[in-house]
Structure 1
Amino acid sequence: MTLTVGTALVVLAVMILGEIWRVAAPGAVRDAPLAQATGIAAAVSTAWPASGDPPVGLTGLLGPASLAAGAVLTVALARRSTAGLGPDLARAVGTVLVAGVLARVTGPDGSTLLEGTARPGSRSGLVALLLLSVAVATVAVPVAGRSVLRARAERVSVLAALADDLGRHGLLALATASTAAVMALSMHVLGPVALVLFLVPLGVLQTAVSRQRTIRAAQRQTLFALARLTDQAGLTARGHAYRVATLAVPVAREVGVPDPDLADVEAVALLHDVGQVGLRRPVPGGATVEVSPRDQRRIAGTGAAILARTAQLSRVAAAVADVGLPHHRAVARGDVLPAARVVRVVSAYDDLVQGATGPDEPVEALSRLLRSTPHEYDPEVVEALVRHLVRRGRLTSSAADRLTRVG
């Protein structure tokens, strides 16, 4: 299908709308599913007119790629802001190029998917499946790319970062791919009307996803606000809860906590010291690692009682209470959640690091933890903490080997 002026204008208008209306996710890049689906559909079903030849060559991608770049630049000029322009251009143009190149690869029968989309004939089912495969591969490229970059920046495994990003973007990306495949097949029958017709369900889904992410962001902000209460009251070291949460999540992933449960690990880490508001005499420096086991259980129990009165936070109340349990008691009970065991270790480590002096703070803190393992702390979690600190560059491999031999 040749990319006519009328079709090009509709594609450009829809892509501009998609670039304006994006899905924002806390801590993640913004998705533009409407623009992405339109770009894929245009790339695998249309081509820039070529002189006398069927528009199946790579030069046929000039039209869709130019429209994608034009949409991003138009939105940037309208907003008078170039923030994020580079990544947005790379995503928009890359989407068109990846989909277009895959659609122009010659198959075993000598034809391309672009030609099959125009004349599916008896292979209509196979063409539809191939289109869906191309669309899925195309939307997976930016997700995989951002996962690799985030894994390098945070020094976590690529698979862990990819699993996290798929959890946040996977369903919407799959909906984007399926919509693009349907639009590509329909454009030869309905023309540019197919872009408007089949983007409506995706727009409704995008609205629902945006609302869900907004609610989750608000809940997360509430957690951080509660976690700062003890900081503001001078009951804990400033930033203790945030540091514990930042470290507890990758350590929990290291010990095998499933990704869907990592949000609860973060919540327990942020709220594990809330019970200190009920103390008559504050703990010096807020370091619960220095108080008696009885006081540790009292602090955890008070925090759990506070959280149990709130519907949204009651789900983590039991885990917060179990943070005060030493490991040997947790083993005896047999039902203590991994979140409590991880937060107990990481909180003690942060308390010890903040109270230590000299260049070997992590080594000193870990040595003390290992001396109390397995009576006080879960040895599996302590080992996971050591591995993560080595990966982050906070601990050398030689120091880790010495610690584990001593432990």
Structure 2
Amino acid sequence: MTQKQSDGAGPSGPQPGGPEGGALGHQRSGGPFWRTARPFRALLVGGVGAASLAALVLTAAAGFEQPYVALAFCLVIAGGELARITLPGNRESAPIALAGAIAYAFLIGLGGEASHHTAWQVVAVVALGVALGELPHVAVGRSPRLEDVARRVLTALLLAAAFRPLVEALALTGPSVAVALLMTGTVALAWALDVALSAVLRAERLRTRLRVALRDEARAQVATGGAIASSGVLIALACTVTGLVGLLVFLAPLLVSQVAFRRHAEVRRTYLETVRALSRVTEVGGYVENGHSRRVSQLSHGIACELGLAEAELLELEYAALMHDIGQLSLREPIAGGATVLASPREQRRIAELGSAIIRETGVLDNVAEMVRRQCEPLAGDGDEGVPPLGSRVIKVANAFDDLVGENGDAERRAAVVERLRMDTDREYDPRVVDALSRVLERR
């Protein structure tokens, strides 16, 4: 195998993977819903959808309690859903909508008048508000991730089911320390359940380990979760005394926080897009095949998820995989087909070191530069530095595979290349990484 093939059907996959993009392990199912590659997601969306429809029917039949209050919260939830944001890690969040949903689930009174709406009415109002807020997004082609929408409705359902019966049983009519503690404990439990649920969905989507996904989700949601939960509780308590004025007053701080979160997400997204643009310089210059860096990045991400890397490590790996060939810009003559796997070890080492030096100039990507520098080393390492970082070993396997297969290699060729890589696992390639590569390719 000395050159790439261009015939046959290439491996399919989503657009750039990694923490900011789609998951390489995600598959579309063309069969019945019970054969989907993500059964837990299908169960969640179907269950929440059925519960929302039942709540709407039952509430409409019985009539809305305090309809003007329900309308006010419905509009707030719709506005919050309309202003939803995408946070790092490709996480959709609607802080204002969720805070409004929490507040309505906890509402025990309004300006001195007791509120007796049922848990079913809470679910109906939240589901209707979410649907109204998502309609403009759908109209312009920005369809939401259904599992994230379902999680927001499910959170309101759980809070209402746990808290509304207590309101009637304990005859709660006004704010107190006990009521505040009860709300805080209930929303904390709901947040913990939501983190666990999102971790299961993430593990299912990325095909990574549940323990890793749980840790990533807890870290990612602690800031937003605290802000949203506290705002929801404060709104519910304030509305008891001030009426609907409290709804507007206590949403203002959350609105400021949402703007800050949005800016942070945009900075992260711009940074990644800059790295992706930089990675295309080698393709535009004719040093590597078009799409090579993207394919290596996708493949590295899928392998890393199989191996259980955390989200921060996945992001660094994506940067390194995108820029792993940037050292080729220093070559006088491009390598044939851009396949560094066919170059001499000395040439590979020179390309890796030059690429690492370029990346270090940024001053903030030292770990990425180290991964790039050691990507060509054998399994046992080169010299006294020991075994290369796992990210370097992943890039080495993903790069070699794409160099030998290219964009349009057929299934037989892909299998042959994997076997070739297995033959060198005693000295060149990490056998765990090659096994993970094989599993990723099987899912494709």
TM-score under structure 1 normalisation? Answer: 0.78
Task: Give the one of 214, 235, 238 matched to 2:287.
Answer: 235
Q: Distance in 2 between matches of 1:389 and 1:331?
A: 33
Distance 1:376 1:92, change over 3 A: closer
- 1:184–1:192 distance in 2 versus 1, CA, 3 Å: same
- The residue aligned with 1:398 is none
| Bigger share in helix | 1
Alpha-carbon shift at residue 318 of structure 1 (Å): 2.3
Query: What's the CA shift for 1:33?
Result: 0.8
Once the 2 structures are TM-superposed, how far is the Cα of residue 296 of structure 1 from its aligned partner? 0.4
Match of 2:80 in 1: 18
1:270 equivalent to 2:322? Answer: yes
Residues 207-264 of structure 1, C-alpha deviation per residue, up to 9 Å, x if partnerless? 1111110000001101111111111222112211111111212322433433222111
The 3-state SS of whatever aligns with 1:360 is helix
Which of the numbers 109, 116, 119 marks the counterpart of 1:55?
A: 116
- Please give the residue correspondences for 1:103-114 in structure 2 after superposition, counting only pairs within 5 Å: 103-105=163-165, 111-112=166-167
Give the number of equivalent residue pairs.
377
Cα displacement string for residues 268-320 of structure 1 (whole angstroms, at most 9, x for unaligned residues):
10000011111112111111111111010011111112222223445522221
Deviation of the 1:196 alpha carbon: 2.3
Structure 2: any 5+ residue segments left out of the alignment? 1-63
Q: Secondary structure at the match of 1:24?
A: strand
1:299-318, aligned counterparts within 5 Å?
299-318=351-370
Given that 1:47 and 1:63 are in contact with CA atoms closer than 8 Å, whether structure 2 keeps it comes out as no
Structure with the bigger RCO (C-alpha within 8 Å, sep 6+) is 2
- Correspondence for 1:345 among 385, 388, 397: 397
Q: Does 1:385 align with 2:385?
A: no
Deviates most, 138-147 or 308-317? 138-147
- In structure 2, the CA distance between the partners of 1:186 and 1:135, relative to structure 1 (3 Å rule), is farther
Change (3 A) 1:135 1:192: farther
Counterparts of 2:145 and 2:313 in 1: how far apart (Å)?
34
Structure 1 unpaired stretches of 5+: 106-110, 394-407
Question: 1:99: Cα distance to partner?
Answer: 2.5
TM-superposed deviation, 1:184: 2.4
Other-structure match for 1:366: 418
Q: Which residues in structure 2 correspond to 1:67-216 (within 5 Å)?
A: 69-70=128-129, 72-73=131-132, 76=135, 81=140, 84=143, 87=146, 90=150, 93-105=153-165, 111-112=166-167, 115=170, 118=173, 123-124=178-179, 126-133=181-188, 135-136=190-191, 140=195, 143=198, 147=202, 151-152=204-205, 155-157=207-209, 164-216=216-268
Q: What residue identity is the alignment partner of 2:156?
A: V
Which of 226, 229, 244 is the equivalent residue of 2:296? 244
Matched, 1:41 2:100: no
- Paired amino acid for 2:157: L
- Counterpart amino acid of residue 66 in structure 1: V
CA distance in 1, matches of 2:248, 2:74: 12
Q: Distance in 2 between matches of 1:315 and 1:227?
A: 17
Range with greater deviation from structure 2 (238-247 or 173-182): 173-182
Q: CA RMSD in A?
A: 3.7
Residue 324 of structure 1: how far off its partner (Å): 2.4
CA contact (8 A) 2:374 2:392 kept: yes
Q: Distance in 1 between matches of 2:286 and 2:300?
A: 23
TM-score by length of structure 2 reads 0.72
Measure, in 1, the Cα distance between the counterparts of 2:190 and 2:367: 39
**Structure 1 residues 322 and 117: CA distance shift in structure 2, 3 A:** farther
Whole-angstrom distance in 1 between the partners of 2:328 and 2:265: 31
Contact 2:340 2:403 in 1 (8 A): yes
Give how far 1:28 is off: 3.2
